Chains A and B, each alone.
Chain A
Amino acid sequence: MSVQELEREQAPKKASFGAVAWLRWVWRTLTSMKTALILLFLLALGSVPGSLVPQRSVEPDKVARIYEQSPALAEWYDRFQLFEVFSSTWFAAVYLLLFTSLIGCIIPRTATYVRELRRKPPAAPRHPSRLPHSATFESELTTEEVAGRLRKLRFRVVTGDGWVSAEKGYLRETGNLFFHIALLGILLAIGAGSLFGYRGNVLVVEGDGFANTVAAYDRFMPGSQVSAESLEPFSFQLSEFKVAYQVTGDKRGQALDYSAHLKVNDTPGAPARDFELKVNEPLEVNGTQTYLIGNGYAPVFRVTDGKGQVAFDGAVPCLIEQKTTMTSGCVVKVPDAQPSQLGFLLQFLPTSVPLTDGDHASAFPGELNPEVKVLGAFSGDLGMNSGKPQSVYELAEPEVMKKLKPLVMGTSVPKPLAVGQSLDLPGGVGKLEFTGVKEWITLQTNYDPGRWPALVFAATAVVAIALSLMIRRRRVFVRIAQGKAEVGGLTRTEGSAAGFAEEFTEIVQVLSAGEKDVR
């Protein structure tokens, strides 16, 4: 190939540049090795910002933070699509050019390769001993016997009048071709996956269920060819979630195992089956995977309003504030409370211990002594009907917060509540009860039809590149005359001569075996 290319580069350049000639020039330039090399560089270089600038698809929160902190910078990043490098136009341009170049390489090489496959080794040179590897020994063998021995060594052999020529190592080219084709295959598989696949995230609290529909997801990211009906119709219920923690030593508090107990219905009518969902062990239903990707606490509260009615009763998923102790921030909004709406800012401590200053903090991520600190209780209009999107982790917008009436705040904060304890709000406007602790998990569901094809192509690529790099093309020539055999060999692969020397010696040994008079 490199020789052909050299010829191509040295071919006389035509001065006249008609449209056809010009197109041909573009195609040749694009499919030349040098261009491939430069495009590979560009591909590597282009990936670098993808690891330095937060990517929208990986860390949306960090992207949002850049927008907040330095809007001008964010705008520039956005202009160059640096928040989504790997789906940007310029990155696509590089890899599409590279793959065009690749196709331009593969097609002529395949043709050459098919021709090569059928081609016989060339006739032996007049003096094989002048080749880089050679040996001479006395031999009674006929050309047919020599050919037979070489065939046993799995050479492709042709014979002539007093000579034998043999070649081996065709798998090298096969490997090279398959490797490059497999790369194309991987790209296509990824493309198909992003068109026809989808990804969704959902948070589920212990005791609750989930059914695989678009509406059930907190966040749903479909490919452009996905319709709502095409989702696999499975459902499940989260009966229990457990975490095992290291309790001693330096790594005290490190999670050792997460396990979610599910009751799964593969189809709406199917009987429920038990499934233990763990990290590294996703739930699979007909090609759709569900993964356990996060967890946290969801304490259960009951709020009684000023009129004595239960205005809220349920588990509240809390946001993790500190991972090592699972100290979590919770927000309880009670829009149904009468006479005015109620809101609470709370902190959940899974293992509450008193500090010297009278405050409390969590000392361990496991649920050993769960308590809830009331950071603030408010009454007034929570502004939930404003039509603006509401965050479950924020009590209200800052300007709404200002208008709320603080009931409990600052120094008036009471002692943390243990399970079963309650806090009576001043002025008889209501009561907050801490009734129990549940846990929540976040799940990711994935459907990617390109997954298996990508794996098959990737496996092909590995095997093929190993063949391509490990195998060398080599030729052996033998001339027999007057009881003497002259053997010469050469390898057509650069940089592997040292290894061939040994193989050549072995070949010579095989050919001269049974002969006593080895020179």
Chain B
Amino acid sequence: MSAEQLAELSDLFVVAAVLLYVVAMVGFAIELAFGRSRPGRAATARRVEIKQPVAVGAAAGGDTVAVSDEVSAGPADASPEEPAVAGETPPGAPERAGQDDRTMRVAVRTGTVALGLAWLGMIANLTAIATRGLAVERWPWGNMYEFVVAICFAAVAAFLGTQIRTNVRFLGAFVMLAAALGLGLAVKVFYTAAGPVVPALDSYWIAIHVSAAIISSGLLTLAGVSGVLYLVRGDGMSRLPSRAELEKVAHRAIVFAFPLWTFAVIAGALWADRAWGRYWGWDPKEVWSFITWVAYAAYLHAKVTAGWRGRAATIVQLVAFGCLLFNLIGVNIFIDGLHSYADVD
């Protein structure tokens, strides 16, 4: 296949990914809208492993009494993709008729289909990146368009990867929305025809530095989405999982992403040392990477500071996420510096 054909193929796969993400988003949204409501605070109880050969009792929070029959507390017929969460049905909630049960089952099935579509979308997204790379014969994240396409992939991959081990399907609709909007933005605003990059970008460091930045940005997007949901969701009943769970998802994503981001910034400094003759020069992009890093460090400190956990920490996290987004998009468009590789006119 010629380079032009590969480049065209890549563009088609981006469009396919957008469509798949949009349909998946609708599916996830239906599941969310007709699925089960959950209480705000009570659901701190941990997941109970049923298939273990030994009894593993899980007591909530500081409770000292192990409630051993919690093992069977979850609905016994829970579908495999929906792990039993102890205490899901609030005490005293009126039992609904069988009709609602059926709606709920359909909703869950819709969600499962959406999950499959999300996987397909991710594969299309990945294929778009790979074919682009083959077309231009270099690492395919040399300009803003390619970079945004890759971050959307990373965010979806972070979501689906987390989903393998922990049920975070409630995030689906929002991650799909973010990814579809991101790809749309890439195609409509940032599109750059396949081609070579300037010599400064022609380095193996792009593989190291930019990949780390992309992966951590993907994870941090996941955390950001959870953070927004945390604020949107009150403490009452909601179709969204409890605030504690949302916070946990966000925290875990950040805990993974922070060292990676640290590494990305340092790899960037190493590259700058090769290309520009200094490892740190307070170029706008460097300034905002630093701000983002400090803001996430502030989040980690807020998590262990009395009076800052929960809502305040989430707000810090979202401010940090705002800094990240501004760094990825705003700095390239509004401020020019050495890093102005965006190729956006």
A-to-B contact residues, CB < 8 Å:
1-2, 5-6, 9, 33-34, 36-37, 40-41, 43-44, 47-48, 50-52, 55, 57-58, 85-86, 129-130, 132-137, 190, 199, 246, 249-251, 254-258, 278-282, 289, 291, 293, 444-446, 448, 451, 454-455, 458-459, 461-462, 465-466, 469-470, 494-498, 501-502, 504-505, 508-509, 512, 518-519
Interface stretch, picked from B73-81, B118-126, B146-154, B256-264, is B256-264
Inter-chain contact A48/B195, CB cutoff 8 Å: no
Least Cβ–Cβ distance between B121 and chain A, in angstroms: 27
Residues from chain A with a CB closer than 8 A to the CB of B266 are 458-459, 461-462
Residues from chain B with a CB closer than 8 A to the CB of A33 are 301, 304-305
Least Cβ–Cβ distance between B307 and chain A, in angstroms: 8
Q: CA separation between A105 and B302, bound complex, in Å?
A: 16
Q: Does B295 contact A (CB under 8 A)?
A: yes
Least Cβ–Cβ distance between A263 and chain B, in angstroms: 21
Q: Does B196 contact A (CB under 8 A)?
A: yes
Q: CA separation between A496 and B302, bound complex, in Å?
A: 17
Q: Can you offer 10 A-B residue contacts whose CB atoms are under 8 A?
A: A5-B306, A40-B294, A47-B287, A279-B202, A280-B200, A293-B277, A451-B273, A462-B263, A501-B47, A519-B55
Q: Does B41 contact A (CB under 8 A)?
A: no
Residues from chain A with a CB closer than 8 A to the CB of B54 are 135, 137, 505, 508-509, 512, 518-519
Inter-chain contact B57/A50, CB cutoff 8 Å: no
Residues from chain B with a CB closer than 8 A to the CB of A282 are 274, 277
Residues from chain A with a CB closer than 8 A to the CB of B291 are 44, 47-48
Least Cβ–Cβ distance between B215 and chain A, in angstroms: 14
Inter-chain contact A254/B294, CB cutoff 8 Å: no
Q: CA separation between A190 and B280, bound complex, in Å?
A: 9
Given A50-B282, A130-B64, A280-B200, A254 contacting B304 (CB threshold 8 A): no
Inter-chain contact B66/A129, CB cutoff 8 Å: yes
Q: Which 6 A-B pairs have the closest CB atoms?
A: A291-B277, A251-B195, A466-B259, A51-B287, A51-B284, A40-B298
Least Cβ–Cβ distance between B301 and chain A, in angstroms: 5
Interface stretch, picked from B28-36, B106-114, B247-255, is B247-255
Least Cβ–Cβ distance between B282 and chain A, in angstroms: 5
Residues from chain A with a CB closer than 8 A to the CB of B55 are 135-136, 519
Residues from chain B with a CB closer than 8 A to the CB of A518 are 53-54
Inter-chain contact A289/B287, CB cutoff 8 Å: no
Least Cβ–Cβ distance between A465 and chain B, in angstroms: 5
Q: CA separation between A289 and B224, bound complex, in Å?
A: 41
Q: Residue among A280, A448, A504 with the most chain B CB within 10 A?
A: A280
- Nearest neighbor of B301 in chain A, beta-carbon distance: A37
Inter-chain contact B199/A47, CB cutoff 8 Å: no
